[in-house]
Structure 1
């Protein structure tokens, strides 16, 4: 029998390896930015076109590479970071596997320009699908410039799996944030389709957070500091009142590397227990410094997951540090049995002498005296005597007997009574037609048996069709606010809202002013409470960033779905009988009552026969 196992060609092996390292344009951005940081750059520029599908370019002013290093950097498993396997547990750099550039070059057109400071000229290398097409001497500034064009040009199937430009750009910006946040000593600049999106100067950690997420973020931050032999914690958490419905502003950095950890995230949630509204998530930006020997970074291709030696200790320290900060800055209540703060003397009255209050009394004043002199004139006061107060009731008895307008007896004109379909004594007439089960389902009787409706999904369908209709015919009804509502967002979030502004106005929103990091709303749709406006817009932004529809969906459809999801009756909300019946009637007046906007079943029916079988 012939041998069937064979070695794969290099270009095929590289493409397969690229699938692990490069899932989307954001993966390329991450790898190139980390290489620039490892090169000791002080200024890094990221240039993106068409959400990275056409061009991703990273320019740095780092130490550059020699001619030989430039060529070797595109070979698989070629790296300057490690020499032995033990070095994997002493890592202080971003990249170490030597797979990034080789994987990127296998699926894109790559052009590299690099020069070391002591050299007069640099090197340029052009690679297309792992094949070096040219290598020449070039005049270029100190540092390295890597241009990645036409990503996945030789793997059309992978390119077809990419999302829309809005989604892919969101992922690129996320990776940019993860790298730029923790490296405050580097100036980062990002350009998208020729326009400057970010320009982050060298600053401290707090200022870097504010530069990325907007000036309003500064007042939301609570500092967290803890230094132990095992773990050093520094950074900030967000105040509970500014918690968001989404998990966007949650960042863990271990030894200056962004990581994801559900276990450590639970420690933060535990520290905020009892302080957050239901369904909201706290923001945090925390740097964790640990001994490199106690962590294993090499367990995931994207290096965003880390294995810790002693997770339980880290959990306890992190939870107590955050809880301590919340108490220290009076965010969370703290018990102190030795002092009553309400009895403390204010600082400005600490050394002042007390003054005895004085009261002036007019000792000659007598309210029962007949003659009282008021502002220079003589008046006669009422003198209460027995005869006076009894005279008030003279004539009342005669009026009751003789006055024809007396209200002793009142007659009303009765309405014409009609015969009722049901006898008032018949118990069937008193039976409620709808019931609410566990504040989640509405149960109603139908001719063939029983109807069970999911109240949250049903209301989503009702609101979705209403919003879609209003946006289509552009006749959304708005209620004006007594005072304008000022909301603050990041620059990217404002850009998203600007794109959706017209559709939002058709639903009933009225925008009076839209600035770089804030907007002013003077009117909202009738069905939207003022307190829910910021939550709705945050949810909408999140949906647009993460769930942007395919080509056959429109922005109008997404907006209607997002608003319906935010405003629909929640599971656990109690409804009156009239509200239950109204919900049932409105649902079956919809064009597609069977499913919610996300294609989930809104109701089920159970016939009498099916119920009978349950009792057999």
Structure 2
């Protein structure tokens, strides 16, 4: 019988490996940059032409390689990162497979030049399509230079899958930016077709983020630092004002390695739940540090995916660290109030007050004004003279309290007892019965009273639920509610869970239920519509086991039904109480659905509108 199974030649196996590792020019640059950083480089330069198809050149000042190591590096599974299988449980380097260089060299015209610091000369190796063409000595500075020309020249099927040069350049830029954020202590440069796209010097993390995502975005970042169960989370995150429509500005690293992990992203979005709108993503750079044995990076050839030994612990530690920052709404609490505009000050001083007091004392020698509460109405005689009797009295012995000259109009100040951001606002009034107008220094603060009330109610409901159950109010006259068969089935499946959030629904025969109690905060509103809305959300869960995962949405629905909507005039006392409650509330800058609570208009913006600047 003829032999059907054959061992593939090395050139074919390298091309197969290249299909897993080398997807596009950006993946080539990622692998080469990881090698540069593992080599201890502090200065890395990336040059590309035609989006990386024509040329990719990486230059670094790392420790370089000897002639023997340079030749070995082009062999498959040749690496300096690991030696035994036990090393796989403690990987701290970015690369470790030993597949990148031979895979890249097999699908390109490849040149490697390298020199160690103690060597008199460097080594240059030229490879074409996986075959070594030349090895020779060369003169160069310590470090490594790798040139990749005509990528996929010998695999036209892969070449056809590449996008336009502009698209590939964009992917390269994203890759270099992710690497740059991960190592602020390393200088990076990126040039495309002889045009410099990025140059960042050694700096700290905040400045590095500003250099890669923009100064405006970086200025609105807030520091994160937390440790839980041996898992450390550090970095910076944005507030609700600085969000993007994609995840391109979310930089997450596990032990210094950039990852796109579902567990990590789920924890981030859970922390931001109710802070930003759905479909929006924050700007952040987060570094998660944990023992190397707790994470498996040997999951996928691209090393973008990892597997955690304690998945729930990582998720909870990350979510707790982010919520610890977000619940304080730091973008409000630590705002620097700008100085009010300069204006002519009324006359003040001790001498001025003494002159006014002397004049007041002199006037009291002739007339004593009766108390305001009993001041009689003056009657006029026909000749226009006043007939009200006037009594002359001696001047009082006690000094007269003199008021300062009237100040320009100032809004009614909030109570001085509270030091919170919202409580410190000066109340101007209400607009359209829906928005509160307040002043903070030289800023006009507009507050959506429905969103603010909804956030306060939602936080109170959460506190009650965590304490054992949402506080309910029994109805004086229970109401009957006709349900559909599907709604009735939901009641039967979730009746005990509904009691935990304040609803008491008793079967009354057929598909009718008696609504005996509602959440106390929601009484006085359209309770029957709230019941139907809650049942509709529960119907989508399918099983009772999913109830706890949907509790935040359910409580947000109750909160929305329990607070003022639309036109609703408020007295100053009610406004003051709402502002005070906002300062006692976590995540005060947004409603539970992620909509903003307040908006600020600066004095400068108003002056531009009225063309005063």
In structure 1, what is the equivalent of residue 87 of structure 2? 87
Question: Is 1:313 paired with 2:342?
Answer: no
Instruction: Note if contact 2:238-2:284 (Cα within 8 Å) is conserved in structure 1.
Output: yes
How far residue 132 of structure 1 moved from its aligned partner, in angstroms, is 0.9
Instruction: Note if contact 2:32-2:58 (Cα within 8 Å) is conserved in structure 1.
Output: yes
Tell me which stretches of 4 or more aligned residues in structure 1 moved more than 2 Å. Answer: 327-333, 360-372, 378-381
How far residue 213 of structure 1 moved from its aligned partner, in angstroms, is 1.3
In structure 2, what is the equivalent of residue 370 of structure 1? 380
In structure 2, what is the equivalent of residue 293 of structure 1? 293
Residues 464-483 of structure 1 show CA distances to partners (whole Å, capped at 9, x for unaligned) of xxxxxxxxxxxxxxxxxxxx
Unmatched 5+ stretches in structure 2: 334-352, 371-375, 387-532, 534-607, 609-613
TM-score normalized with structure 1 length: 0.55
How far residue 219 of structure 1 moved from its aligned partner, in angstroms, is 2.3
Instruction: Note if contact 1:326-1:332 (Cα within 8 Å) is conserved in structure 2.
Output: no
In structure 2, what is the equivalent of residue 581 of structure 1? none
In structure 2, what is the equivalent of residue 101 of structure 1? 101
In structure 2, what is the equivalent of residue 194 of structure 1? 194
In structure 2, what is the equivalent of residue 268 of structure 1? 268
Change (3 A) 1:242 1:125: same
In structure 1, what is the equivalent of residue 57 of structure 2? 57
Provide the secondary structure at the position in 1 that maps to 2:303. Answer: coil
Instruction: Note if contact 2:220-2:331 (Cα within 8 Å) is conserved in structure 1.
Output: no
2: CA distance between counterparts of 1:124 and 1:62? 16
2: CA distance between counterparts of 1:266 and 1:329? 21
2: CA distance between counterparts of 1:371 and 1:97? 110
Change (3 A) 1:58 1:380: farther
Question: Is 1:223 paired with 2:223?
Answer: yes
Provide the secondary structure at the position in 2 that maps to 1:119. Answer: coil
Instruction: Note if contact 1:222-1:329 (Cα within 8 Å) is conserved in structure 2.
Output: no
2: CA distance between counterparts of 1:364 and 1:92? 87
1:354-433 paired onto structure 2 within 5 Å: 368-370=378-380
Unmatched 5+ stretches in structure 1: 334-354, 373-377, 382-437, 439-521, 523-616
Provide the secondary structure at the position in 2 that maps to 1:241. Answer: coil
CA RMSD of aligned residues (A): 2.8
Provide the secondary structure at the position in 2 that maps to 1:12. Answer: helix
How far residue 277 of structure 1 moved from its aligned partner, in angstroms, is 2.3
Provide the secondary structure at the position in 2 that maps to 1:162. Answer: coil
Instruction: Note if contact 2:222-2:330 (Cα within 8 Å) is conserved in structure 1.
Output: no
1:402-551 paired onto structure 2 within 5 Å: none
Change (3 A) 1:364 1:21: same
2: CA distance between counterparts of 1:241 and 1:163? 33
1:551-566 paired onto structure 2 within 5 Å: none
In structure 2, what is the equivalent of residue 154 of structure 1? 154
In structure 1, what is the equivalent of residue 18 of structure 2? 18
Instruction: Note if contact 2:217-2:242 (Cα within 8 Å) is conserved in structure 1.
Output: no
How far residue 260 of structure 1 moved from its aligned partner, in angstroms, is 0.9
Question: Is 1:48 paired with 2:58?
Answer: no
Change (3 A) 1:317 1:4: same
How far residue 258 of structure 1 moved from its aligned partner, in angstroms, is 0.4
Instruction: Note if contact 1:224-1:233 (Cα within 8 Å) is conserved in structure 2.
Output: yes
Residues 291-330 of structure 1 show CA distances to partners (whole Å, capped at 9, x for unaligned) of 0011111110100101000010111111111111123454
In structure 2, what is the equivalent of residue 282 of structure 1? 282
In structure 2, what is the equivalent of residue 143 of structure 1? 143
How far residue 130 of structure 1 moved from its aligned partner, in angstroms, is 0.6
Question: Is 1:245 paired with 2:255?
Answer: no
Question: Is 1:77 paired with 2:110?
Answer: no
Instruction: Note if contact 1:275-1:332 (Cα within 8 Å) is conserved in structure 2.
Output: no
1: CA distance between counterparts of 2:377 and 2:120? 106
How far residue 83 of structure 1 moved from its aligned partner, in angstroms, is 0.8
In structure 2, what is the equivalent of residue 66 of structure 1? 66
2: CA distance between counterparts of 1:371 and 1:19? 109
Provide the secondary structure at the position in 1 that maps to 2:325. Answer: helix
1: CA distance between counterparts of 2:287 and 2:62? 25
1: CA distance between counterparts of 2:271 and 2:112? 47
Instruction: Note if contact 2:39-2:63 (Cα within 8 Å) is conserved in structure 1.
Output: yes
2: CA distance between counterparts of 1:165 and 1:369? 93
Question: Is 1:131 paired with 2:141?
Answer: no
1: CA distance between counterparts of 2:77 and 2:40? 21
Change (3 A) 1:274 1:9: same
Instruction: Note if contact 2:227-2:317 (Cα within 8 Å) is conserved in structure 1.
Output: no
2: CA distance between counterparts of 1:63 and 1:55? 24
How far residue 165 of structure 1 moved from its aligned partner, in angstroms, is 1.4
In structure 2, what is the equivalent of residue 111 of structure 1? 111
Deviates more, 1:101-110 or 1:311-320: 311-320
Residues 455-494 of structure 1 show CA distances to partners (whole Å, capped at 9, x for unaligned) of xxxxxxxxxxxxxxxxxxxxxxxxxxxxxxxxxxxxxxxx
